Structure 1
Amino acid sequence: MNKETGSDPGICVDTPALAVFLNGSILYGVAAKVTKDGKTVSSASDLAVKTPQKAATALPKAILVFAWLSLIAEVVIIGTGGAVRLTGSGLGCPTWPTCTPESLVPTAEMGIHGVIEFSNRMMSMVVGLLALVVLVLVWRLRATRRDLFVLAAIVLGGVVAQGIVGGISVLTGLNPFIVGFHYVASLALVCVTAAFLVQAYSPVGPRVRVVPSWFAGIAHATSLVVAVTIGVGVLTTGSGPHSGDATAGRTGFNVEILEHLHAWPAYLAFALTIVLVVAAAVRRLPVLGWAAALLAVELVQIAVGLFQARNGLPELVVGVHMILASLLAAVMTVVLLRMKRAAPAE
């Protein structure tokens, strides 16, 4: 039994799994060294240099192209969903799955709100179609790239479930808690799609951690704080003025208090990310670029958040804030996944 990993001797490997930012620790071990037969082969810091740079995998180009399109679509639908809420079009189509009891599509008398809501529903069809294409493309690889197959299946299943949740939100008159869950689930799908791309560009085979255990711990803590920040942000939005429809209810929480509760973990996540960037730069860790990208997204997100809070929550700025949250979740996912790389050749 290896004292540091708590596992039997052998090359430390990870199991491809769902990489949501809520708790990256389920994906990563905490071994400080790579061991084989109980003997030290290499330290994690050395591995960043010794790991061979292999071709992504011999994946067909179509898989990568449609995976990228799927990720883009997942982000875009967060933007279109935000537009529905911010323009007061949440009940532009008052029924589901049809737009009205008599019509699948919006009618002329429903005006622009019906068009906006129906357009968002059509965007969900695009997201679902792209997810289906990715799953079909990886189907024949399910034996050798089970990681990709599982992630693709999760995305498609999640998109279908999201359609149902969206329908429930309409049928409940835009209940703020259901609408908030709808948004969080969309962020989770962004994370899974980002994880798919990271795995797709990674070589097949055993993987080892290429950062020190303390760095991994800080990264996981950062992901948890980011999750809390987003969660409180969802409650804040659900308590604010942008309900999606004049008749929709709010959470009943004090929005001013929630704004402060939302800001505190955001600043903590920013501070922790600065630690990650400085540590990665000093130790020359291979995750430096992605850690820096995470810091940049957080900086812009904080600036946008402060602007919207001090200027009466303008609709366009709130929409940008929502989209930036999806990018933040995606980059956080990549940072966690890139802490492991392919094990060096024997």
Structure 2
Amino acid sequence: MVRVPKLTRADVAQAARNPLLYIAERWTPSPRTVRRAAMSAVVMAVVIVVTGGAVRLTGSGLGCPTWPKCTDESLTATSEMGFHGAIEFGNRMLTYVLCAAVGWAIIAARSAKPWRRSLTKLGWVQFWVVMGNAVLGGIVVLVGLNPYTVAAHFLLSTALLTVAMVTWHRVSEGDEAPRPLVGKAVSQLTWLLAVAAGLLIAVGTVVTGAGRHAGDSSDVHRIPIDWKMISQLHADLAWVVVALTVALWFVLKAVDAPIGPLHRARDLFLVLMGQGVIGYVQYFTDTPEILVGLHMLGSCLVWIAVVRVLLSLRERPVAVAAAPGPVAEQPEPVTAG
């Protein structure tokens, strides 16, 4: 039976003063554990987007009509609020799971040896983005699902996903200055691809804001723009992103780039093809809820693939301490006689 050491007053005081430092001094996670902790934040960033979409697609956006409490009288959903209240309140509770995942990533990064300040900072950036998006989510409810605030809520979730992906990738890198693996022209083409993909996602939020899934059964304000026109623009941008992806793959092949960027460009193309199929099918079938939800998941996967392409264009070698060489034998002193 393992004996649990008793905490002294000094331990309690130190834990209260700086809990991260207290844990870091007593625990050293393996690199694999740190990487898994970072990945848990990525997974939850995707889950919170998908479940948020489920709230809207089931018409549960105002299932809890106020914020931060569910109703003026109750902090939680009540049985009288039915299915919609349970869905909306459940999504709010998942924010705490997301916070736990981000907190786990911060603790693991802070406890790793040697401590890498850059990883811990990235974890804290995630935390504050989550807090900001939680407040924005409350504003979305208080303004009655205004489509512009809903779009901002989704875009901030995409920003969280970006930081979470960068954190996960940086776990397996060092802290040296990044070294490019491709030329400047290839890097510029990749950034153009990333900008186009970001614009594609932004226009997608406008499609959502003008579409028929308002998020609640009541009369919710929609973006006053022709839905078919903005959907066509969204489709055109998707083909631009596909074309840039194909061009990037051929350029990487032509310049004999490392296998990493080639594979990431290939992965992005495959994800785009899957997302495109879902997008066209949902358009021609009058946007059924299940396909819209899958399209939101696909949006996250597309952006993850874009971020991975960007990160694959450079490397940060892990600094390795030089091993001491063999001590040279000293010649014996020559003595006379």
Using the size of structure 2 for normalisation, the TM-score is 0.82
Residue 294 of structure 2 aligns with which residue? 320
Q: What is the CA–CA distance in structure 1 between the aligned matches of 2:299 and 2:186, rounded to whole Å?
A: 23
Residue 107 of structure 2 aligns with which residue? 136
- Residue 205 of structure 1 contacts residue 342 of structure 1 at CA under 8 Å; is this kept in 2? yes
Q: What is the CA–CA distance in structure 2 between the aligned matches of 1:89 and 1:312, rounded to whole Å?
A: 20
- Residue 141 of structure 1 contacts residue 149 of structure 1 at CA under 8 Å; is this kept in 2? no
Report the alpha carbon displacement of residue 195 of structure 1 after superposing the two structures with TM: 0.5
**C-alpha distance 142-101 of structure 1, shift in aligned 2 (>3 A):** farther
Please say which structure displays the higher CA radius of gyration: 2
- 1:150-200 Cα offsets, whole Å, 9 max, x none, are 211110001111110000000000010001100011011111100101111
Matches within 5 A, 1:93-112: 93-112=64-83
Q: What is the CA–CA distance in structure 2 between the aligned matches of 1:281 and 1:112, rounded to whole Å?
A: 53
Residue 276 of structure 2 aligns with which residue? 302
Q: What is the CA–CA distance in structure 2 between the aligned matches of 1:141 and 1:69, rounded to whole Å?
A: 17
Report the alpha carbon displacement of residue 59 of structure 1 after superposing the two structures with TM: 5.4
Report the alpha carbon displacement of residue 207 of structure 1 after superposing the two structures with TM: 2.2
Residue 265 of structure 2 aligns with which residue? 291
Residue 219 of structure 1 aligns with which residue? 190
Residue 256 of structure 1 aligns with which residue? 228
Matches within 5 A, 1:322-341: 322-341=296-315
Of the three residues 43, 59, 64, the one matched with 1:72 is 43
Residue 210 of structure 2 aligns with which residue? 239
Residue 248 of structure 2 aligns with which residue? 276
Residue 24 of structure 1 aligns with which residue? none
- 1:124-168 Cα offsets, whole Å, 9 max, x none, are 110011112211222356985222122111100011111100000
- The reply to whether residue 265 of structure 1 matches residue 237 of structure 2 is yes
- Residue 181 of structure 2 contacts residue 257 of structure 2 at CA under 8 Å; is this kept in 1? no
Residue 89 of structure 2 aligns with which residue? 118
**What count of residue pairs does the alignment treat as equivalent?**
289
Q: What is the CA–CA distance in structure 2 between the aligned matches of 1:324 and 1:107, rounded to whole Å?
A: 33
Residue 163 of structure 2 aligns with which residue? 192
Same amino acid, percent of matched pairs: 34
- Residue 59 of structure 2 contacts residue 216 of structure 2 at CA under 8 Å; is this kept in 1? yes
Of the three residues 84, 88, 95, the one matched with 2:59 is 88
- Residue 253 of structure 2 contacts residue 262 of structure 2 at CA under 8 Å; is this kept in 1? yes
- 1:64-103 Cα offsets, whole Å, 9 max, x none, are 1111111111101111000000000000011111111111
Deviates most, 108-117 or 197-206? 197-206
What letter is aligned with 1:151?
A: L
What letter is aligned with 1:228?
A: L
- 1:276-310 Cα offsets, whole Å, 9 max, x none, are 12222342433111111111111111111111111
Residue 10 of structure 2 aligns with which residue? none
- The reply to whether residue 146 of structure 1 matches residue 94 of structure 2 is no
CA RMSD of aligned residues (A): 1.9
**C-alpha distance 159-89 of structure 1, shift in aligned 2 (>3 A):** same
Matches within 5 A, 1:5-84: 60-84=31-55
Where 2:212 maps in the other structure, the secondary structure is coil
Q: What is the CA–CA distance in structure 1 between the aligned matches of 2:95 and 2:288, rounded to whole Å?
A: 26
- Residue 37 of structure 2 contacts residue 108 of structure 2 at CA under 8 Å; is this kept in 1? no
- Residue 93 of structure 1 contacts residue 99 of structure 1 at CA under 8 Å; is this kept in 2? yes
- Residue 67 of structure 2 contacts residue 141 of structure 2 at CA under 8 Å; is this kept in 1? yes
**C-alpha distance 343-61 of structure 1, shift in aligned 2 (>3 A):** closer
Report the alpha carbon displacement of residue 62 of structure 1 after superposing the two structures with TM: 2.6
Q: What is the CA–CA distance in structure 2 between the aligned matches of 1:333 and 1:86, rounded to whole Å?
A: 27
- Residue 110 of structure 2 contacts residue 116 of structure 2 at CA under 8 Å; is this kept in 1? no
- Residue 182 of structure 2 contacts residue 257 of structure 2 at CA under 8 Å; is this kept in 1? no
User: Larger RCO: Structure 1 or Structure 2 (Cα < 8 Å, ≥ 6 residues apart)?
Assistant: 1
Structure 2: which 5+ residue stretches go unaligned?
A: 1-28, 323-337
- The reply to whether residue 207 of structure 1 matches residue 181 of structure 2 is no
What letter is aligned with 1:312?
A: D
What letter is aligned with 1:293?
A: D
Residue 169 of structure 1 aligns with which residue? 140
Q: What is the CA–CA distance in structure 2 between the aligned matches of 1:142 and 1:255, rounded to whole Å?
A: 53
What letter is aligned with 1:112?
A: F
The structure carrying a bigger helix percent of its residues is 2
- 1:250-285 Cα offsets, whole Å, 9 max, x none, are 111111110111111110000010111222234243
